[in-house]
Structure 1
Amino acid sequence: MTPSDSGSEAEAAAEKPVPQPPSPSPDGRGGRDGAADAPRAEPSRAEPSRAETARVEADDQFAFLSRLAGGLAHEIKNPLSTMAINLALLQEDWERVAAQRSADVPLPPREQRTLKRVTTLQREVQRLETIVQDFLDFVRGAAVNRRPQNIGAIVQEVLDFVEPENDQAGVRQRTDIVFGLPLVLVDEAQIKQALLNLLINARQAMPTGGEILVRVRRVGNDAEVSITDTGIGMTPTQVERCFDVYWSNKKGGTGLGLSTTRRIVEEHGGSIHVITEQGRGTSFLVCLPLAVELTGDNRSEVQVDPTEPRTFDVEARERRLDGAGEDDERA
């Protein structure tokens, strides 16, 4: 190779462009023409939200409970039924002995204690049977038989059912029910069960008595049922966990009432929300889609003001409702 040849090659090498890594194109795929000219890292996926994570955990928990249901039915429920039958027979024997005695000769104290213990055992067996049945009903669910129903009439029937117990507990019922709403497509028995759970929960939140305000109205294309108590309210932890399966802060509670209610509502395409303030009360809002979508003049949506102090001052809220009714009459 001559010096001149070497110089020519050096000049050619200097003029030859040095390869550069592909720069990102405007579309973000790399390469000058948008093609992927080089391996690239997969785009990072967004972390699942807390709600999504909770829902996945709830689904896994539900699947696990479902697998346990069959075993529970055989291993627990059947022996409990046998115990209940034998305790009933034992109670009959002791009552027969007591009946054979004259009215002036009561049972000896020892026999009275025995009969009392039998009664206590019967009550506890019945409680355990209820817990097991509630558990089985929850994990198995039930066939949904949806039909167009008047949600206002359903709510009123459930209120009539719980009114005697509420009276005994010193709980007064107040209502604001719009009966002329469009129908909702629901399984009547299941929705009644969901509402019953909420009403029982409201009563239990007021151990010294109080008031329950039940309101049915239309909000957009949903029928909203709100159940408000004037009880002790809920802590943030209780609000976060109240729909969890088998979680309860009540003595003797099964922890299935609210979780069952949420499952029923969501199976009907609805939603359930909690509004609470400690020391003043709690509202549960159930929203169910209307069976028909109205258009034109008949579509009258109710706008909800998120700043409204919702549901805790029962008397103030009733005054607002009464005022709205008077305005309607004047119109």
Structure 2
Amino acid sequence: MSDMTNTSSDNSTLNDTEQELRARYLEIAELAGGLAHEIRNPLSTISLNLGVLREELDGADDPRDQRMVKRLAAIQTECDRLEDFLNDFLQFARVMELNFQAVDVSEFVSELIEFIKPELSQQSIEISPHLGTNLPAVQIDEALFRRGLLNLTRNAQQAMPDGGVLEFQTYLADDQVVLEIIDTGKGIPENVREKIFDPFFSTKTGGSGLGLPTVCKIIEAHQGEIQCASEIDKGTRFRITLPVLPKSD
């Protein structure tokens, strides 16, 4: 009886802690959203005025005016980059409130493949699906999970600029549903691979460094895990594990 009481008390403490952490997280996310909004407003004004100035100088023959056009274009590029960063940051900060649904991962991935197939075929990337059948359902927020998988797919595309193979695998292992996304791209160096899930770390010029960290947060919000294995000039494998949805009595 005493042990049962202690367990209940421990669970209550954990629930209280989880609620407190959730409340703090939501507060931070709200502050982040407000900050991004305050930055976006003047940024939009700057971009608008840059467009007006470029239109006024459009077709100018004077060398000085032509130099000004190039400088304005460079400023516009930086404004666009900052806008992209704000969007990435908001996605990273707001991964918390989920709308869970019971989903068959193989069916979900099959629909995703149909969506991305036309674009990948133009890049000479072959999709190779190996999707398990009759897998137990998992709980996911479809829109958020899809965003995460599309992010991984874009990374694979960038790793195979001359074409290759993108493989999707789903199967059951140790009472967990596993999804693997494997490309035949250029691979990730070990010193980079150790940091790819760190916020703001990027090897891409102008990259926000929030793409893969956001994917990691999405998977963790689903009580799952994501791992990466890679070999130079051979490819990269992302392995996602998700807990099986308990069967109702």
Q: TM-score range by the shorter chain?
A: 0.7 to 0.9
Normalized per residue, the structure richer in strand is: 2
Deviation at 1:219, TM superposition (A): 1.8
* Structure 2 SS opposite 1:226: strand
- The alignment-based identity, stated in percent, is 38
| Distance (whole Å) between structure 2 residues aligned to residue 141 and residue 270 of structure 1 | 14
Q: Is the 8 A contact 2:200 2:210 kept in 1?
A: yes
- Alignment partner, residue 195 of structure 1: 149
- Residue 261 of structure 1: how far off its partner (Å): 0.8
* One-letter amino acid matched to 2:227: H
1:200, 1:116 → 2: CA distance? 30
Report how far residue 137 of structure 1 moved.
2.1
Matched with 1:85 is 48
For 1:82, what is the secondary structure of its paired residue?
helix
Partner of 1:270: 224
Shift of 1:247: 0.6
Q: Aligned in 2, Cα 1:170/1:113: closer, same or farther, shift over 3 Å? A: farther
Tell me the residue number matched to 2:16: none
Q: Deviations over 1:90-110 (max 9, x none)?
A: 56x56xx98xxxxxxxx4555
Give the TM-score taking structure 2 as reference length.
Answer: 0.75
Partner of 2:124: 170
**Where in structure 2 are the equivalents of 1:147-162 lying within 5 Å?**
147-162=101-116
- Which structure is higher in RCO with an 8 Å CA cutoff and minimum separation 6? 2
Partner of 1:255: 209
Distance 1:162 1:88 in 2: 33
Please tell me whether the aligned partners of residues 149 and 184 of structure 1 are also in contact (alpha carbons under 8 angstroms).
Answer: yes
Aligned twin of 1:309: none
Root-mean-square deviation (Å): 3.1
Provide the secondary structure at the position in 2 that maps to 1:144. Answer: coil
Matched, 1:225 2:179: yes
Q: Is the 8 A contact 2:226 2:240 kept in 1?
A: yes
Amino acid at match of 2:109: V
Matches within 5 A, 1:102-113: 107=59, 109=61
Q: Does the alignment pair 1:184 with 2:147?
A: no
Cα distance change on mapping 1:160 and 1:81 into 2, 3 Å? farther
Structure 1 unmatched ranges of 5 or more? 1-61, 99-106, 295-331
Cα pair distance change 1:234/1:141, threshold 3 Å: same
Query: What's 1:243 paired with?
Result: 197
Inter-CA distance 156–251: structure 2 relative to 1 (3 Å threshold): farther
Distance 1:82 1:270, change over 3 A: same
Alignment of 1:28-67 (within 5 A): none
Deviation at 1:133, TM superposition (A): 1.7
Change over 3 Å in CA distance of 1:89–1:269 after alignment to 2: same
SS of alignment partner, residue 241 of structure 1: coil
What do residues 198-252 of structure 1 show as CA deviations (whole Å, max 9, x unaligned)? 1111111123222111112222322111111111212221221111111111222
3-state SS of paired residue (2:170): strand
Q: Which residue identity is paired with 1:203?
A: Q
Equivalent residue pairs, number = 222
State the shift of 1:154 in Å. Answer: 2.1
**Counterparts in 2 of 1:89 and 1:177: CA distance versus 1, 3 Å:** farther
Q: Provide the C-alpha distance between the structure 2 equivalents of 1:156 and 1:200, rounded to a whole number of angstroms.
A: 17
Length-normalised TM-score, structure 1: 0.58
The answer (yes or no) to whether the contact 2:81–2:206 under 8 Å persists in 1 is: no
The whole-number CA distance in structure 1 between the counterparts of 2:48 and 2:130 is 46
In 2, distance between residues paired with 1:157 and 1:148?
Answer: 16
